[in-house]
Every structure is written in C-alpha cells, then in structure tokens.
Amino acid sequence: MSATRIGMAFVLALAVAAQPLPAAGAAATQLPAKTMTPAGFRQGTAVYVRMRDGVEIAVNVILPPDLQPGERVPALMRTTRYWRATGFGWWTRLKLALHLVQPKAFENRQRAYFNERRFAVLVADARGSGASSGSRTVEYSRDEIADLGEVAAWAARQAWCNGRVGTFGISYDGNTAELAAVPNEPAIRAVMPLYDDFDTQQLIAPGGVYLSGFLEPWSHLVAALDRNDVCATAEVSGFKCRLVHAMTTGVQPVDADPAGRQLARYVAGHRNLDVAQAVRRLEYRDDSMDSKDGAIHMADLSPYGKRRSIESSGVPMMVWCGWLDATPCQGALERYLTFSNPQVLVMGPFSHGGTFNTDPFASKHRPAVPPVEEQYRMEADFFERTLRGEPSPKIDSEIRYYTMGEGAWHTTRSWPPAGLSSERLYLAPGQSLASQAPADAGPADTYTVDFTVSSGSATRWHTQLGGGDVVYPDRAQADRKLLVYTGEPLTRDVEITGSPVLTLALASTAGDGAIHAYLEDVSPEGRVTYLDEGVFRVIHRKEVDPDSLPYRPLGPAHSFLRADAEPLHPGEVATIRFALIPTSVLLRRGHRIRLALAGADAGLFQRYPAEGTPVWTVHRDREHPSFLELPMRSR
C-alpha cells in the first residue's frame, strides 16, 4: 500500500467508516449522542486533564449508557498517537441531520462492547499529538509515560469509577498500554498490549536491517496528524482536499472548546521531531539521539528497557499477536520468557489489529479466527477477572497458540512447547535439502544479489500500515530470482512450532549485506506457499552470551552493538547464524520444505551495501556446512 493510499484510507476510516483502521490502534472513538445516564452523568464527555507540568491531555470518557445511580465501574484506558476522535465536517453533519447515516455508523465496536460489559472507556491523545498540548522530542518520552499514570489516577478518582483501571491498545497504543505499568500507579491493575513491539528495533530494523518501507510512511503520517492536517494525512490537494474537509475537520476539540480555538493553539505548539530522520541515527543498539530526556537509546523506546519498573508493578498482562504480523510475536515470546509479570499470551493467524485470518493455507480476505467479536469477549473477560473484585484473583501465565495449516488452537505454559525436537536440513547438491550432513569437501553455490526482488505488496510488513490482510501469492515465480533449496516430499504430516534457525557458511564480494531467508511449502502441484521469514544484516553475526542481553532471545544471541560489528572480508568464509520469526504451522504429507535466500526486499528494506552488486558463495561442505534447524514433530 502506498503512503497516499494509507493516508486516504486513514482519513476515510476515521471520518466515515464504522470501524477505524487497526493500524491506528482502532484510534478514533467518537462520542455518543449527548445523553444522560440514569446515574446523572453524561454518557460521553471530552475534557482536558492537566498534568504536573501544565500540559493538558485531551480525554474522551464514554460511560455505559445505562449506568445506575451509585454504580461504580472499572475504567479501560487507551492512549493514542492517532487522534482519539474526529470532528465531523459539514457533509457528515448534513447526512446525520437528514438521517442518511446513523450515529451508530461512527461507533467504535470495541468501545461499544466494553461499554456493554459495563466498563467505562477513556481514550486520550498522547501529549504533543491530537488535541493535547505539549510537544514530542521523542516517542515514549518520560513525560509521556508519566502522563499515563496521571490520567489513570484521575480516572480512578471519578465518582463513576470503582478505583481500578486497565489499559489496552493496538500497535503504538499497545505500547502505551504496556508502558502504563511503568509509573507503578496503584489504580492500574491490568494491561493489555495488542500487536505491540516489545523491542522497537525489531520493527524499525529487524535483524539490523532498516525497514524504510514502514518507518518513512509512518513518520509522514504522524507528522500530518500532529499538524491536524487532514489533507496532508490523505496526501491530497485541490478538490480532493475540499472533499476530505467536508467529511472531517480533523481531531475533535474538547467540549469546552467547541470552536476549536484552544485546539488550534495547542496544535501550533506541537512542533514535533521528524521520527524517521531521528531514528535513522540509531543504526546500532548503543547509538543515541538527543532529546529533552538526554541521550536516547533503543532501550528507552522499548518496553524491555523498562523491565524493572514493569516487573515491580506486578500487573498481569494479556498480550495478543499475529504469526504473520511483522515481529510482535517474537517480542511477545521474549517478554513471556523474561518478565515475571503474569501473562496470558494469544498468538494466532492475525493481521495487524486482528481483523483478518492470515493462515497461508486459508483463502484470502477471510475474517479472523476467532472473529473480532469473540476477541472482544476474551479481552473483556480478562478485565472482568482483574478489575472487578478485591483482591484480584491470581492470573496464571499461559500461551494459547494457533497452528496454521491445521486450524487448531493449543495451550502451553512453556516455550517452545513440549514434544518438539530440532531437526537439521542441510543445504545439499542440486539445490536440495537433506537430513544427512555433507561428507565432501569443497561444494558451494554462488548467487548474485538481485536488488529488484520483492516479497510482495501485502506482506507481514505492510499490514503494520493499515491492518490489511496478509496475502503472499504463489512464490514459484519470485523464487526464480532467489537461491532456493528444496527438500524431499514429506513422508508424514509434520508440525513446525518455534523459531527456525539458519546457519550459513557465506563468503561475499562485499563487506556488508542483508540476508532475507524465506521458509516455504511446496505442494505436490508445485504451488509455493510463504510460511515464515528471517532478516539479518551480516555485520551483526558475532554471537554473545545470552545472559548479557536485556531479555532472553529466541535464537542465537546478537548484541547489535557498534563495537561488536564485524564486516565481512571479501572472499573469506564467515559463519552466520540467526533465527527466523517464530511460527506454528502444519505441513502435509507429500509437500516439500523449501528455503529461499535473497539479498534484498525492494520497496520495504534498505539495501546493503548501498552500492555495488555482491556475489555470494554459500558453502555446504564437510568443513563449512550450511543448514536450517526446524523445531518439529510428527503428527
């Protein structure tokens, strides 16, 4: 999806669609009609909550419509980067007045369901964004995180609240949901990060390879949102711009500012950083950029860097991620294996935000499994357990995971699950995969890196910008440009669950490079189905003690520190080991396993090196074996 299509889809979804974009964290939550609850409170209000430094945070509060006198309910809070609500333009207001569209059409389904389950819902604009005042010198700043605790404390003091607050959100809003545990605010009793990034580097530069195809469009989008510029958000001008303004005026003012004068002053004061430009400086994990908070490293932008505070809060978590949604499942598992907080982890065939079923063996554009409404029920059930009673019941950590190709859910408390063993498939003659280690000396394959190759236009990386379906076409044609190794037909059904690990004995004519490794299924009819991938910049190949890292890695441990970078020496063989993104998939008897190797993914990832055309030599002999390790079991 192009940046223009993303921006236009975003504006249209916020202005006129029944369900906002998942990539925006289901951001816009329109206020219901200005009706009174039986308890005497307005059902929907938009207010400013003043922070310790005078910054005012815009907050929408939506109560259950039938809230009774004296009833006190838990509050569920979401803090967004993408406008908490939108103002209606003249055309939208006219359609509402003529009953050509019903107010319910603008209702956020998740919010409405939480209200039905008797939760109050708060949606706040993060400082320096939307209708809130302040500015942003960095994402997830200390002030932004402190605000999360203060808004929660304010909610807990309201007459309609039982004093208990849960946080939730998708994507960026999922990160703020988790970071709300950092201030250790007593009112916050549970957090629900949905499709968020435990380690921000895994989204910005997975394996050290800069994901420019995500960060640059995202940076342009949030800059336009911060200016309250709906036309720049949609990347339109002229008549199309006037049409967009007829639908929406941009971010919604608070109730006390109906003309938007205060809003205009606050928007003028945002003056935020260029996110993409700033993050480009963080090439290595120990690189830093300057901000009001001092030198900022990747750990400061990630929940893993707040481990001590999050663990000390003791709050239970419910975490959701999708197998084919960028890397959130990798981070979710690393959090599960590292943090002491009770965690319920749900890993399924979800697009970003959970709208689509991305099982590669299912037909495309199918609704999610479980359906979105069932997801809301499961989320509300978690908050029922953690926010209603006093004291809250004990939450036992567990993982609920879906196996693609099988269409079944499983539960485990350990990862990887019991019963799996690591099986090696060696790169072998004839571009094959073999279970036997090579016995000969000398064999190798050469590959000239093709920088035009692409993994597609609706990939696991694209779903981060819009929450769209993940659809990989038959990769037989694409694989003709790659270096591929294909195994023999399977003699039985096999399950792969966990993180495949690739070991390559590689020589290159260049000192740098990126390896894009694809795990694929080849059917008896010849169709090639994408299953999984791993991305890795070769200069980060040095392996370190896993205990030296800030969290437990799922595969070989790499520091990504500048001091540990090791350029290749042209012509010399280097051993490179890295994990693919975790997965769970069932392959059928008669199908074949394929490994496809590329040195680029055009339009998504930055190329390495910046110039030249490297030639790889992939060794696969007795002295320098190359192999793929798969966590497998027969079924």
Number of Cβ within a 10 Å radius of residue 299: 17
Contact 532, 583 (CB under 8 A): yes
Provide the pLDDT for residue 442: 81
Q: Which residues contact 381 (CB under 8 A, 6 or more apart)?
A: none
Number of Cβ within a 10 Å radius of residue 332: 25
Query: Does 461 score more than 80 pLDDT?
Result: yes
Query: Does 107 score more than 90 pLDDT?
Result: no
Q: Which residues contact 16 (CB under 8 A, 6 or more apart)?
A: 92, 101, 105, 106, 247, 248
Q: What are phi and psi of 239, to 5 degrees?
A: -60, -40
Provide the pLDDT for residue 391: 80
pLDDT in tens, 25-34: 444 677 776 7
297 is catalytic: no
Provide the pLDDT for residue 68: 98
Amino acid at 63: L
pLDDT in tens, 154-178: 999 999 999 999 999 999 999 999 9
Q: What is the set of domains in the chain, with CATH numbers?
A: 3-316 (3.40.50), 421-634 (2.60.120.260)
CA dihedral for 236, 238, 240, 246, sign (positive or negative): positive
Provide the pLDDT for residue 1: 41
- Which of the following is catalytic: 135, 171, 351, 559? 171
Contact 64, 75 (CB under 8 A): no
- Which of the following is catalytic: 352, 516, 558, 624? 352
pLDDT in tens, 517-552: 999 999 999 999 999 999 999 999 999 999 999 999
Q: Which two tokens stand for residue 270?
A: 């945002």
Which of 411, 403, 290 has the alpha carbon at shortest distance from 345? 411
Look up tokens 């497998």; give the residue: 632
Q: Which residues contact 250 (CB under 8 A, 6 or more apart)?
A: 83, 86, 87, 228, 229, 230
pLDDT in tens, 284-319: 999 999 888 889 999 999 999 999 999 999 999 999
d(CA 577, CA 543): 8
Give Cα separations from 24 to 125, 303, 505, 620 (angstroms).
12, 19, 41, 45
Contact 359, 404 (CB under 8 A): yes
Whether residue 416 is preceded by a cis peptide bond, meaning omega within 30 degrees of 0, is yes
Contact 63, 120 (CB under 8 A): yes
d(CA 12, CA 245): 11
pLDDT in tens, 555-603: 999 999 999 999 999 999 999 999 999 999 999 999 999 999 999 999 9
d(CA 74, CA 155): 9
pLDDT in tens, 110-138: 999 999 999 999 999 999 999 999 999 89
Whether residue 391 is preceded by a cis peptide bond, meaning omega within 30 degrees of 0, is yes
Q: What residues form DSSP beta bridges with 421?
A: 632
Give Cα separations from 234 to 8, 11, 13, 125, 451 (angstroms).
4, 6, 11, 20, 30
pLDDT in tens, 204-254: 999 999 999 999 999 999 999 999 999 999 889 999 999 999 999 999 999
Which of 466, 593, 575, 573 has the alpha carbon at shortest distance from 529? 593
Provide the pLDDT for residue 104: 81
Provide the pLDDT for residue 292: 80
Q: Which residues contact 551 (CB under 8 A, 6 or more apart)?
A: 198, 199, 304, 307, 334, 335, 337, 338
Measure the N-to-C terminal CA separation of the chain; round to a whole number of Å.
38
d(CA 167, CA 301): 19
Q: Which residues contact 202 (CB under 8 A, 6 or more apart)?
A: 326, 327, 330, 331
Provide the pLDDT for residue 457: 96
DSSP 42: B
Section 343-348 average pLDDT:
99
Q: Helix, strand or coil for residue 151? A: helix
Q: What are phi and psi of 520, to 5 degrees?
A: -135, 160
Strand 592-598 relative to strand 444-448, pairing:
unpaired
pLDDT in tens, 26-68: 446 777 767 999 999 999 999 999 999 999 999 999 999 999 9
Provide the pLDDT confidence category of residue 364 given band limits of 50, 70 and 90: confident
Section 86-97 average pLDDT:
92
Rounded to 5°, angle at Cα 304 from 397 and 632 = 55
pLDDT in tens, 4-24: 445 555 555 555 433 334 344
Look up tokens 């336009």; give the residue: 224
286 is catalytic: no
Q: Which region holds residue 136: left if phi is over 0, alpha if psi is between -120 and 50, else beta?
A: beta
Q: Helix, strand or coil for residue 269? A: coil
- Which of the following is catalytic: 143, 147, 325, 532? 325
